[in-house]
Amino acid sequence: MRNAMHTDREHCVRAVQSKDARFDGWFFTAVLTTGIYCRPSCPVVAPKPENMTFHPSAAACQQAGFRACKRCRPDTSPGSPEWNQRADLVARAMRLIADGVVDRDGVPGLAARLGYSARQVERQLLAELGAGPLALARAQRAQTARLLIETTELPMADVAFAAGFSSVRTFNDTVREVFALSPSELRTRRSPDRAGTPTTTPGALQLRLPFRAPFNPDNVFGHLAATGVPGVEEWRDGAYRRTLRLPHGHGVVALTPRPDHIGCRLVLSDPRDLTVAISRCRRLLDLDADPVAVDGLLRADPLLSPLVDKAPGRRVPRTVDEAEFAVRAVLGQQVSTAAARTHAARLVTAHGDPVEDPEGGLTHLFPTPQALAALDPESLAMPRTRRATFTHLVSELADGRLHLDVDSDWAEARARLLALPGFGPWTVDVIGMRALGDPDAFLPTDLGVRRAARELGLPSTPAALTARAAAWRPWRAYAVQYLWATDSHPINFLPV
């Protein structure tokens, strides 16, 4: 599958003329007569078709010499859902670029993570996105800089380094080139509702995370709150809050569902971690999903259609740390949600790194695999077989023999997990769904899924349900969310 929408000129022209927001992030429109590029839903009068050219990324537009539109702000549109649907080289590279790898390790570091040469990575990104890794990372830095300029009161030098620029001069030149305004002019032009708000916590940043509508917050926030590990996660004052382990330090984030965006309040120990923190929060809430495509396919099943129509736009609750989630999946094997939280909380208290949280009750970062691999297995209050599963997992993660990250090859990771003792299909698939981000992961043996299937008149045996679910591909992970929603479990309801 390839993101070739920008090559379908007729389709793109119709989307621009109808100002269809569903395609924001899928492609960008560059206008030859004005030298600007826009999102498809730009509110200005659509240009003549002969004056439009279409590009697969903002970086490609910038590389071709176009500036971002000041009205529709194409740099702030949700990310392309393409990168969450695929596990090939380009998709894995895009997830790593969003995670700040190029800024930290350069193109050689990106290529090393992917297992390809830098030339191969450059060639494939250019072929599909019209821009190489440096240009894509530069576009992301520009977007982060604009976000900080318009939503915070940080001094410009701090904005430059927080956005990933190596110097203030490069920051100034890039902002002028991309937006046709200086950093100071961008801050002066911002609307009052985007201005930074005073805070009593030093370094706190208030941001907006966009998403594609519809967005149903119930199951994603309900799941995160109901399964939250005390000390690491909490629901407070209408927001899901948690600690973040980041490349240069740590952070605390509060995520609040709003009608047209997610409110994001970040406190970082090192501002260089801003880009990766935003990327992980978007991934956690599945904000770059394409709900129209997902719900459209699932509605084709007459037994699922009423569930989709009742509450469209469900997302898959994911994670900010793939290794952490794998550990928690093992702790949750064959026990209740409350018991799994208790086991995890004990590990956090004993082996997590303490942090300060002046705005709430968070106390620790979740322990690293290295810290968990060093503990005494006899101290774990769980059956011997699950204890063995736990120790094998953390040992593999700590030694690097098992790699779970945004760039993981899904098939390879599944195979390695299945080879570990105590890892059956349910554990591997729930890790695939929520940690690796596979949108087609399916849980036919899950008790909640089977119970919902029986109530809806779907086959309830794993083999028969899997066969029926073939029609839901490649969105079976989202079908699971709709099936789970038939239950009265707290994971399905926005906390009050």
**Residue 437 region by backbone torsions, left for phi larger than 0, else alpha for psi between -120 and 50, else beta:** left
Structural domain count, the chain = 3
In terms of domains, do 262 and 164 share one? no
Please check the confidence at residue 201 and state whether its pLDDT lies above 60. Answer: yes
Are residues 407 and 269 part of one domain? yes
CATH of the domain at 52: 3.40.10.10
Beta-strand relationship, 67-68 and 36-38: parallel
Alpha carbon of 300 to those of 295, 306, 309, 330: distances in Å?
9, 10, 11, 35
202 pLDDT higher than 70: no
Asked whether residue 202 is domain-assigned, the answer is: no
- CA 222 to each of CA 100, 216, 239, 241: distance values in angstroms, whole numbers, following the listed order: 29, 11, 11, 13
Identify the pLDDT of residue 335: 86
Q: pLDDT tier at 4 (50, 70, 90 boundaries)?
A: low
456-485 average pLDDT score: 96
The listed range with the strongest mean pLDDT (77-86, 188-197, 206-215, 355-364) is 355-364
| pLDDT for the residue numbered 26 | 84
pTM of the model: 0.87
Tens of pLDDT along 26-74? 899 999 999 999 999 999 999 999 999 999 888 999 989 999 998 888 8
- Mark whether 171 and 89 lie in a shared domain: yes
Segment 11-30 shows an average pLDDT of 88
Determine the Cα–Cα distance for residues 140 and 121; give it in Å rounded to an integer: 18
- Let me know: does 321 contact 377? Beta carbons within 8 Å: no
Give the residue numbers marked as catalytic: 38, 446
Instruction: Specify if 204 maps to a domain.
Output: no
Among the candidates 59, 75, 91, a domain finishes at 75
Q: What's the rounded mean pLDDT across residues 261-266?
A: 95
Q: Among 167, 194, 221, where does a domain finish?
A: 194
**Res. 1: pLDDT tops 50:** no
200: in domain:
no
pLDDT at residue 2 in the model? 42
Residue 414 and residue 459 share a domain: yes
For residues 29 and 101, membership in a common domain is answered with no
Mean pLDDT of the chain: 91
In sequence order, the 6+-apart residues with CB closer than 8 A to the CB of 408 are 87, 92, 322, 436
Give yes or no: residues 341 and 388 share one domain: yes
**Residue range of the domain that includes 56:** 5-75
What tokens does 68 get?
A: 């971002």
In terms of Cα–Cα distance, which of 285, 369, 288 is closest to 325? 369
Spatial neighbors of 402 by CB under 8 A, at least 6 apart, are: 393, 396, 413, 416, 417, 420
Residue range 473-492: mean pLDDT, rounded: 94
Q: Identify whether residues 307 and 431 lie together within a single domain.
A: yes
Q: Which of 137, 165, 194 is the last residue of a domain?
A: 194
Supply the CATH number for residue 371's domain: 1.10.340.30
Domain of residue 181, CATH code: 1.10.10.60
